Structure 1
Amino acid sequence: MRGTSLRLRLLIGAGVWIGLAMIAVGFLLVHLFRVHLEASAETELRATLNRLVAQVDGIDMGDLDRPLADPRYELPYGGLYWQIDGPGGEALARSPSLFDVTLDPGEVTSPALSGLDGPAGAPLLGLSQAIGFSGAPDDRLVVTVARDREQIDLSVRTFSMQLASALALVWGALTLAAVLQVHLGLAPLASLRTGIADIRTGRAARLRDDYPMEIGPLVDQVNGLLDAQRAMLEFARARASDLAHGLRTPLSALGATEARLRDHGDHQEADALDRLVRTMNERIEYQLRLTQLRLRSTSAAASTPLAPAIEQVVSVLKRTERGAMIAWEIACPEGAIVQLDRHDLIELIGVVLDNAQRHTRDTVEITVGQEDENVHVVVADNGSGMTDEQMKTARQRGVRHDQSQTGTGLGLSIAQDIVEINGGRVLLERARLGGLSVRLFLPGTLRPD
């Protein structure tokens, strides 16, 4: 069972962490913007406070009839306010913008920005300063200036919405960059997968050596395994060949014994020994062919046209006494290409058609089509066919269901081995003609003629 996608995990991780970073940056920028606005407001209020303090000349308020430069101090509830409180806390003077509202600066020790309640309970940012006079030390006045906090809050909200849109675009751009980075970072793995696929299909024998250093050790390990497997298979082939050749001498001796028995008139024993020697020779040849098949060179891709192989095998079978009496019906597009070595394909078609020839009455039908990524070859005859139980065991080595026919029972098992080694499969069915239908699914395609 496969785990979750590495690409998906990297992209989700990048998207989440970029999103969290954007959120943190957003909160930080909004906070800094608010601090900046409040600092600017404090600077303006402090300048206004200094101008008011400069105009106060004793308890009689001096020259406060000169209006301040900003007209909002003159408009009722204009958003900018000032007020001067006497020693008893009573309001001695205030800006027209306060109209009928009195500010409560509370206890004032030093000029500092603080929150106040303004008209209709609106929150204000205020700055207050207590001033005294040398001639009357107990007659302290408190000068207060304030402005609406809502203006700052509105600016912060507007900035936050604009910032959110900008950060969303930045998040999208960084996420796209992360997608590209992940794609480029995982590209060597895709190349590695293609290289392994090439090895499996026979287009390459080893992985290339030009992978990035991070996956270089993995490539070296895979190549090492391939080299070790190749050496082991070569050793096994050599041992099988040695064993087969080692059996040739005893079989030759048995053949000589069979000839002597026949010369002495013991034909029954000679025939039995001859059948035994032929069976052993056929099985040895089969094992050698199978070993050669499994160890066939994978230095180049195998791609073989199907129609010429079928025509070649049928042409050979027609020259036999049995094949000349059979009607061979072939429907194979010229563009049928299968991913098998030519020798493997001819041997496969040969054993399947030979099996059909031996069991049919007078007709063998060969049809070729496409199914998914496979070319399927159907060989059907009008012989007696097989039961369901017989079809289950027909591909076992040495099993013969028709004892009246000659042979070793290895034909369909050879076909099964060739097809499976090349990534296909074999299916036995009852044929439309009444006999057996052998359906071969081979990797390949039907190209336009």
Structure 2
Amino acid sequence: MASAQPRSPRAGRSLAGRLTTIALVFVGATMAASAGVFWFAVSHVVREQVDQQLDVQITALKGALSFDAGGRPMLSSAFDNPPFDRPGWLWQIDTPGGRLISPPPRRPHPPRGRNDAEGPDRPSAEGAGMPVEPASPTDAPGDRGERPRRPIDLAMEDHAGPALYLRRQDAMVEGRSVTLIASAPAGALTVPARDALGWLLPLTLLLGLMLTLGTLLQVRLGLRPLRRLTDEIQAIERGARARLAPAQLRELQPLTAEINRLLDQNETRLAETRLHFANLAHGLKTPLASLTLALDREKDPDGALGRLAERMEQRIRRHLALARKAASAAGLGAATALAPVLADLLALLPRLHAGRRVTADIAGMKDLFLRCEARDAEEILGNLLDNAFKWAASAIAVTAAREGGMITLLIDDDGPGIARERRAEVLRAGMRLDETVPGDGFGLSIAEELVTLYGGRLALETSPLGGLRVRLTLPAAISGEAG
């Protein structure tokens, strides 16, 4: 049964996007809650104001209520002052001796011929301080003879249609039980609250927009140190700097310190590994060289032992190169000046290969830095130049230029060159096209492996000089800051 593969994190997830989403959800929820709180608060204030108006009317009605000798209720004055002169603002008094109801709303131009007499379900002009026919004390204005289900704060429907908001009080007046009811249109509660929210909601939306913009700005500014840290890490990878700068923020100080510690540790281990491989190479090559020198024609007439020693040396060089390649992969932030490396090699190789004329503008390469370890740069360039000196008839040209983030180095010679169909073969380890020329066939292959390791490219082309052109492309590093 195959083991379950670990789930990889979703690509493209952003910390800034996550923080922004959470903040926007919080802002939206806050705005919705604020709108609800505003509505509740404004509605509560409006309700209290309406209750106060109705309670004042009930108190005034109670104070003005009296009874005649027959026990019929009467009022000492009319109660049709604002707002009880408008539709929906009604009052009613129920007593054992009859009912008093508020007069109808004032109309500037009442329709002619209309009968103003109203039944017991509608306010009547006769009810303004005058007794009317006895009625059940439980009847309320507009309830059509039905007993209210609740003693106070009832909502009922006026005969004309709008819902009413009621305040009711049971009291004793001159020894008689009376019920006083005052009503307001339901719109008196909702319309002012809605009007208040009409300007509160735009302010809330404006506040939400400001909070959103503030959140986006906060996320952008808050993550700026992380972006700066990312840029510094990329600069280390490019070879522009050796270590991270000390973090100014307390929260990032442990992170930068730990990364710098890991870089120090990596550099120390890399140096130890290189030293180990150097000692290993010396320990293997020295006895082998002594063995080769000790062979003579009498002990090795057919040269078999010599060829065996040569193959052993080739394998040792091959495996040491691979081990060194693996060690180089651990290096970060290396930057090597191209000009000094070329100057040293071009000063040494003409002594080993006399009769070759070298053309190279070393001074023009002083601002070019390779993003690789110095020893690897020496290995790569040494193998390529040594190959050119071996095969050149008389002339070698070396040019270099920076193209974007890469450095391109061209090494031309006027030798026999390599046929296009055989160029891939010479990049294989141990491959030699001409056994008469000294060498082991590992130089170009080792150079290509190291170039590939550093993200570069090695190509073989035809040279304008008539021989082989080696085009070497390696990542460029920034000068001065690499440590």
Using structure 1 for the length normalisation, give the TM-score: 0.73
Tell me which of 77, 80, 87 is aligned to 1:64.
77
Say whether 1:406 aligns with 2:421.
no
8 Å contact from structure 1 (residues 81, 147) kept in 2? yes
The aligned residue for residue 64 of structure 2 is 55
Change (3 A) 1:339 1:86: same
Distance 1:331 1:214 in 2: 43
Q: Select the residue among 272, 276, 290 that pairs with 1:238.
A: 276
**AA paired with 1:336?**
L
The one-letter code sitting in structure 2 at the alignment partner of 1:257 is L
Note if contact 1:380-1:435 (Cα within 8 Å) is conserved in structure 2: yes
Q: In the alignment, what sits opposite 1:124? A: 164
2:23 is aligned with 1:43: no
Q: By how many angstroms is 1:8 displaced?
A: 1.9
Moved more, 207-216 or 308-317: 207-216
Report the CA distance between 1:257 and its aligned residue.
2.5
The residue aligned with 1:167 is: 204
The answer to whether the 8 A contact 1:366-1:380 is kept is yes
Kindly indicate whether the alpha-carbon contact (under 8 Å) linking 1:22 and 1:167 is maintained by their aligned counterparts in 2. yes
Instruction: In structure 1, list runs of 5 or more residues that go unmatched.
Output: none
Return the alpha-carbon distance in structure 1 between the equivalents of residues 478 and 281 of structure 2.
42
Residue 127 of structure 2: aligned partner: none
For residues 383 and 291 of structure 2, the distance between their equivalents in structure 1, rounded to whole angstroms, comes to 30
Q: Which of 5, 12, 36 is equivalent to 2:21?
A: 12
Q: 2:293 aligns with which of 247, 250, 255?
A: 255
User: 1:33-66, CA deviations, whole angstroms, 9 ceiling, x for partnerless residues?
Assistant: 2123212211221112211222222234221336
- Check the 8 A contact 2:65/2:76 in 1, yes or no: yes
The whole-number CA distance in structure 2 between the counterparts of 1:343 and 1:176 is 53
1:308, distance to aligned residue in structure 2 (A): 5.3
Please say if 1:114 is aligned against 2:154.
yes
Report if the CA contact (8 A) 2:247-2:253 is conserved.
no
Aligned equivalent of 1:337, options 359, 362, 369: 369
Per the alignment, residue 137 of structure 2 pairs with none
Determine the structure 2 residue equivalent to 1:153. 190
Provide closer, same or farther for how the CA distance between residues 363 and 119 of structure 1 changes in structure 2, counting only shifts above 3 A. Answer: farther
Deviations 1:312-352 (A, max 9, x none): 54455555656625766999665433334445434433322
**What is the alpha-carbon root mean square deviation over aligned residues?**
4.8
In structure 1, how many angstroms separate the alpha carbons of the residues matched to 2:359 and 2:331?
40
Name the residue aligned to 1:378.
410
Indicate if the aligned counterparts of 2:54 and 2:167 stay in contact, CA closer than 8 A: yes
Shift of 1:252: 0.8
Distance 1:61 1:369, change over 3 A: farther
d(CA) in 2 for partners of 1:383 and 1:207? 50
Out of 146-155 and 46-55, give the one that drifted further. Answer: 146-155
Deviates more, 1:8-17 or 1:281-290: 281-290
- Which has the higher mean CA deviation after the structures are superposed, 399-408 or 80-89? 80-89
What is the match of residue 128 of structure 2?
A: none
* Higher normalized contact order (CA 8 Å, seq sep 6+, divided by chain length): 2
1:375–1:445 CA contact under 8 A, matched in 2: no
The question of whether the paired residues in 2 share the 8 Å contact of 1:108 and 1:128 is answered with no
CA distance in 1, matches of 2:338, 2:154: 92
| CA pair 329-359 structure 1, distance change in 2 beyond 3 A | farther
Q: Residue by residue, what CA displacement relative to the aligned partner does 1:143-169 show, whole Å, maximum 9, x if unpaired?
A: 433333324323323333444334344
Q: What per-residue deviation string (whole Å, max 9, x for no partner) do you get for residues 182-210 of structure 1?
A: 56776776576567556655644799899
Contact 1:26 1:164 in 2 (8 A): yes
Structure (1/2) with the larger helix percentage: 1
Asked if structure 2 preserves the Cα contact closer than 8 Å seen for 1:368 and 1:378, the reply is yes
Residue pair 1:196, 1:207 contacting (<8 A) in 2 also: no
Task: Select 2:475's aligned residue among 426, 432, 443.
Answer: 443
Shift of 1:408: 1.4
Code of the aligned partner of 2:455: G
Matches within 5 A, 1:67-106: 68=81, 70=82, 72-74=83-85, 76-77=86-87, 80-84=89-93, 92-94=101-103, 96-97=105-106, 102=123, 103-105=141-143
In structure 2, what residue type is equivalent to 1:358? K
Q: Percent identity?
A: 24
AA aligned opposite 2:456 = R
Cα offset, 1:245, TM superposition: 0.9
> 1:407: how far off?
1.4
CA distance in 1, matches of 2:424, 2:53: 97
Q: Which residue among 440, 445, 456 is the counterpart of 1:425?
A: 456
Letter in 2 for 1:114: L
Q: What SS is found at the alignment partner of 1:408?
A: coil
CA distance in 1, matches of 2:369, 2:256: 35
What amino acid maps onto 1:47 in structure 2? V
Structure 2 unaligned runs (5+)? 1-7, 111-115, 117-121, 124-140
CA contact (8 A) 2:369 2:476 kept: yes
**3-state DSSP class of the match of 1:121?**
coil
- Is the CA contact (8 Å cut-off) linking 2:16 and 2:219 kept in structure 1? yes
Q: One-letter code of the match for 1:431? A: T
Structure 2 SS opposite 1:64? coil
